[in-house]
Amino acid sequence: MSNVNERGTLLEIFQAALTVTHPRACVPPHVPELPDKGRLIVLGAGKAAAAMAQSVEETLSQRGVNLHSGHLAGTVATRHGYGLKTNLIGVTESGHPIPDRASVAAAETALHEASKAGSDDLVLVLLSGGASAIWSAPVDGISLEEQQDLTAGLLRSGMPIRSINAVRKHLSRIKGGRLVRAAHQAPVLTLAISDVPGDIPSAIGSGPTIGDETTLEEARAAIAEYGIELSDGLNNALHDPANETPGPDDEIFLHSRFELIATATHAVNAAADRAREAGYEPVILGDALEGEARLLAKEHARLALEIKSEGRSCALISGGECTVTVKGGGTGGPNQEYALALAIALDGAPGISALAADTDGADGGRGGKNDPAGAVITADTLRRAEMSHLNPAIFLENNDSSTFFRAIDDLIVLGPTHTNVNDIRIILTGP
């Protein structure tokens, strides 16, 4: 198979994962009926929030609901550049992965709207990955700037997402179940698109509607383990008992429901189905893989070479979220770093190609709308790099995978996909 055909097949398999997890596919079956007496108050945050709001409006309209009858209200926040046009539900944009002032304003608005809900209303929360930064309401005593510096440090540390969220939940007035606390009288229904390995509800968007099983002590332990330096304000906040989050058994969650509507499992299974249609035997390596990107790449290269030696045409498919411990000064993301490390480990082995990309359309980057989603490699990746006088090992050491793949035109640039079920990695082995 030619490199062009391999790329096309890889992108088709990846697109199948995006299609099944897009809000237009996963939201409609879960949209509730309007309350008999009160309002449906839609609040949401995440990279898929605008598309989820669109799908709610479209579903209600298809049921014959007049959106302007006074029984529907709300606002959602998404990443800068990810906004979409809606009829009634407001859409704002804020910072990701680093929160900005718009993130604070969006969280304050959500808390205010939730606080106005009455017992006859239903608060519908549309949650997707990215909400942790997109909804940011620092606890008393810390500034946005302190929160921004801490977020940047956490993301560069290699800390697993559960530990990062344990810290963020205890430093925010909306995370860790506190949006439900704000809604006090009203029932709450959360529809969530999961970007978290294992689909743990309290970790998606730092769990604004879920009782928090982590504690201040756990947050402090994570900070200590990874050597994160804290300002006096942040340190004081993590020692203040007032910042402990409500636990899963708190009575405020008695009238709160949570539904997972799209996950990495859906994405991986859809990719496997498309790979089978393309003539490959799908081999699912897992949908919740974690760990250092370059180490996972070495293991997957070993598996691919073993399968290739058996003469099998397979698609090795995996989901989850890799991490990168940043030591260099380059640009990139975990999927691009994985792809670069994979290319090095495969060393130009014929008949093997791969794609690694984030389903939200942005893998690392600078927070721009057209950040790369990931990268593709083929058997001639290293040869083309050599022709361009590029040393892949040096780029890997400097965490500069974006520059490497941009130079040989192997970046995947999709723009906003309006979904987010984390990373998808596909390795094709041919005869």
**What pLDDT, in 10s, does the model give residues 280-313?**
999 999 999 999 999 999 999 999 999 999 999 9
Query: pTM to 2 decimals?
Result: 0.92
Cβ neighbors of 424 (< 8 A, separation 6 or more) are 14, 17, 264, 267, 268, 271, 317, 318, 319, 355, 356, 357, 359
pLDDT tens-digit profile of 205-230?
999 999 999 999 999 999 999 999 99
pLDDT for position 388: 96
Mean pLDDT of the chain: 95
pLDDT at residue 1 tops 70:
no
Q: Is the pLDDT of residue 431 over 90?
A: no
Q: What is the pLDDT of residue 270?
A: 98
20-24-30-36 Cα dihedral, nearest 10 degrees: 180
Supply φ then ψ for residue 318, to 5 degrees: -145, 155
CA distance 396 to 402: 10
Q: Report the alpha-carbon distance of residue 132 to residue 113 in Å, rounded.
A: 18
Model confidence at 3: pLDDT above 80: no
According to the model, what pLDDT value does residue 156 have?
83
Q: Which of 354, 327, 329, 324 minimizes the C-alpha distance to 342?
A: 354
Long-range (24+ apart) CB contacts under 8 A made by 37-40 are 37/120, 38/71, 38/118, 38/119, 38/120, 38/121, 38/122, 38/186, 39/70, 39/71, 39/72, 39/73, 39/117, 39/120, 39/121, 39/122, 40/71, 40/72, 40/73, 40/74, 40/121, 40/122, 40/124
Mention every residue, 6+ apart, whose C-beta is less than 8 A from residue 26: 20, 193, 261, 262, 266
Region 85-91 average pLDDT: 97
What does the pLDDT look like over 339-352, one tens digit per residue?
Answer: 999 999 999 999 99
Between CA 401 and CA 339 the distance in angstroms is: 8
Measure the CA–CA gap between 317 and 1, rounded to whole angstroms: 19
Please report the pLDDT score of residue 367 as a whole number: 65
Residue 236 has pLDDT above 60, yes or no: yes
Q: What is the pLDDT of residues 174-211, one digit of tens each?
A: 999 999 999 988 999 999 999 988 899 998 999 999 99
Whether the CA torsion 135, 141, 144, 150 is positive or negative: it is: negative
Lowest-pLDDT choice from 233-247, 321-335, 379-393? 321-335
CA dihedral for 352, 356, 359, 362, sign (positive or negative): negative
Handedness of CA 399, 402, 405, 408 (dihedral sign): negative
Per-residue confidence (pLDDT) for residue 172, from 0 to 100: 96
Domains and CATH numbers, the chain: 3-17+265-429 (3.40.1480.10), 31-262 (3.40.50.10180)
Residue 2, pLDDT score: 58
Does 37 have pLDDT greater than 60?
yes
CA 176 from chain centre, in angstroms, equals 17
- Arithmetic mean of pLDDT, 368-396: 95
pLDDT at 157: 86
Residue entry with tokens 């201040």: 216
346 within 8 A of 303, measured Cβ to Cβ: no
pLDDT at 326: 87
Tokens (6 digits) for 33: 């009926």
Task: Give the model's confidence band at 170: pLDDT under 50 very low, under 70 low, under 90 confident, else very high.
Answer: very high
Question: Which one, of 181, 177, 203, lies nearest residue 192 by Cα?
Answer: 203
Q: In this structure, are residues 215 and 244 in contact, taking their beta carbons and an 8 Å threshold?
A: yes
